[in-house]
């Protein structure tokens, strides 16, 4: 089964490309000890982040290989921000399949594989009061896909307005659980408890993942 990638745009979650990419992601992470619940939680977020397209650049503004024009742009399945967080580190560590796509240098469709290996080893995932799972615990969790989608949203993705897409990410996670496991997803307990006075807003230092 091949990886799928294109220069711009998303794949709909029911497309052959998205489903085959998701199956490849699951196979890669299952071998690293992830549960189908955890993979589904991450995939639930990918719809909003990249549309399951490993070559996706933030706002579809494709970066150039010289680097500086894309230091503040997201890239890839999970929208590494800045893109150099993955591109520079992956190049140095020679991840199998590594080959980001640029406007002046065609990438490898297998870059999706390198990205997933990188996430497994180097995700800048931080626990929150509402979702106290450590990254190690997240990987092996059997909590509901919806809960794990929210955990990934708040502990890893950390967009400026997480609440805007929270429910859709949880629904996407349930969809992927059904696709990958062939079973109905466990009941979703809903959003985690809000820290006192938080109104589910992220600390400024965590929001900065998207801004620097």
What are the catalytic residues? 49
CB 45 within 8 A of CB 157: yes
Q: Please, what is the Cα angle at 1 between 36 and 8, to 5 degrees?
A: 85
Candidates 37, 56, 36, 34; CA nearest to 47 is 56
60: helix, coil or strand?
helix
Provide the 8-state DSSP code for 203: P
DSSP H stretches of helix in 50-188? 84-93, 111-122, 135-139, 145-152, 166-181
CB 65 within 8 A of CB 173: no
CB atoms inside a 10 Å sphere around CB 62: 19
Q: How far apart are CA 9 and CA 30, in angstroms?
A: 27
Burial class of residue 66 (count of CB atoms within 10 Å of its CB; 0-12, 13-18, 19+): exposed
């Amino acid at each position: 089964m091949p990886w799928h990638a294109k220069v711009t745009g998303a794949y709909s979650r029911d497309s052959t490309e998205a489903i085959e990419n998701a199956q490849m992601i699951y196979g890669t992470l299952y071998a690293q000890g992830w549960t189908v619940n955890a993979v589904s939680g991450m995939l639930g977020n990918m719809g909003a982040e990249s549309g399951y397209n490993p070559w996706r650049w933030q706002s579809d503004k494709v970066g150039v290989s010289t680097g500086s024009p894309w230091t503040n742009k997201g890239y890839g399945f999970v929208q590494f921000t800045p893109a150099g967080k993955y591109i520079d580190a992956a190049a140095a560590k020679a991840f199998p399949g590594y080959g980001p796509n640029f406007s002046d240098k065609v990438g490898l469709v297998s870059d999706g594989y390198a990205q997933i290996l990188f996430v497994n080893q180097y995700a800048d995932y931080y626990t929150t009061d509402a979702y106290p799972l450590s990254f190690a615990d997240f990987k092996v969790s059997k909590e509901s896909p919806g809960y794990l989608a929210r955990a990934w949203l708040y502990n890893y993705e950390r967009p400026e307005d997480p609440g805007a897409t929270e429910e859709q990410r949880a629904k996407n996670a349930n969809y992927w659980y059904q696709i990958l496991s062939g079973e109905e997803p466990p009941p979703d307990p809903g959003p985690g408890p809000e820290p006192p006075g938080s109104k589910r807003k992220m600390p400024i230092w965590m929001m900065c993942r998207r801004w620097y």
